[in-house]
Amino acid sequence: MLPEFKEIWQDTLEWFPSEEQQQQFEQLYQGILVGNRQCNLTRIIEPEAFWEKHLWDSLRGIIPLGLESYTTASFLDIGTGAGFPGFPCAIALPYTTVTLLDSTGKKIAYLNTLISELQFSRVKTLLGRAETLGKQSSQRNKYDFALLRAVASASVCAEYAFPFLKVGGTAVLYRGRWTPEEAESLNLTLNQLGGYLEKIETFITPLTAGERNCLYLKKTSMR
């Protein structure tokens, strides 16, 4: 699946997966195809769409974090669905720990199967609703980064993410179009939560030219 996209990976991500990582992406893809026959994991299963919307998009969102490949940071993917953006991040950053959180039991059950098949001991799962799990003391102030794609409005995503983050941690919100109205509501929420919008990265997806906006929210205090 990957070789024909080599130039795009290099031009747009300034990164290219090793042989081992390419194999892991391929195993992830095959595993998701199998999982889709058992439960409704994702509608994005055509190879090109999978590559662009699941792999490329997941990775494009973490590039502005400026992480070194050997980072040991902890990631929480809230509302992970079929494992995105968390799974590709775990493959690209091989020393991180990544927790995939979702409220749907069937999805988490299949992700557990996939994790053991791919022997990804650094990837864990959490079953439950973000707003409930975020109140548990074992989960609070724990993660360096939270990733949220296609889960809820930006303000609600911030409310979900902040309890889990360490002070100084960052929530990455993967969004499509971004409007001034959303920005206003998000800023009000961030004032209450103890954080701020550090930056917005706008980019165009390489195959279908879709607009993406990734928001980087910094947690500055424990509330």
Ligand X SMILES: C[S@@+](CC[C@H](N)C(=O)[O-])C[C@H]1O[C@@H](n2cnc3c(N)ncnc32)[C@H](O)[C@@H]1O
**CB 154 within 8 Å of CB 63:** no
Count interface residues toward ligand X (CB under 6 A): 16
Segment 10 to 29, residues that bind ligand X, using CB under 6 A: none
Q: Is 46 a residue that touches ligand X (CB under 6 A)?
A: no
128 is annotated as contributing to ligand binding: no
Residue 120 annotated in ligand binding: no
50 is in an annotated binding site: no
Cα separation, 108 vs 103, whole angstroms: 8
- Could you tell me which stretch among 99-107, 134-142, 163-171, 205-213 binds ligand X (CB under 6 A)? 99-107
Site for ligand X in 75-94 (CB under 6 A): 79-82, 84
Is 51 near ligand X (CB under 6 A)? no
16 is in an annotated binding site: no
107 binds ligand X (CB under 6 A): yes
The verdict on 175 binding ligand X (CB under 6 A) reads no
Nearest distance, CB of residue 85 and ligand X, angstroms: 7
**In the complex, minimum distance from the CB of residue 61 to ligand X, in angstroms, rounded to a whole number:** 10
Among the listed residues 5, 98, 107, the one whose alpha carbon sits nearest the alpha carbon of residue 51: 5
Q: Which of 21, 103, 187, 205 binds ligand X (CB under 6 A)?
A: 103
104 is in an annotated binding site: yes
DSSP secondary structure letters along the chain = --GGGHHHIIIIIS----HHHHHHHHHHHHHHHHHHHHS---S--SHHHIIIIIIIHHHHHHGGG---TT---EEEEET-TTTTTHHHHHHHSTT-EEEEEES-HHHHHHHHHHHHHTT-TTEEEEES-HHHHTTSTTTTT-EEEEEEESSS-HHHHHHHHGGGEEEEEEEEEEESS--HHHHHHHHHHHHHHTEEEEEEEEEE-TTT--EEEEEEEEE-S--
Does 145 belong to an annotated binding site? no
Q: Which residue number, 46 or 184, has a Cβ lying nearer to ligand X?
A: 46
d(CA 212, CA 12): 14
Under the rule (CB under 6 A), what is the footprint of ligand X? 79-82, 84, 101-104, 107, 129-131, 149-151
Binding-site members are 79, 84, 102-104, 130-131, 149
Binding-site members for S-adenosyl-L-methionine are 79, 84, 102-104, 130-131, 149
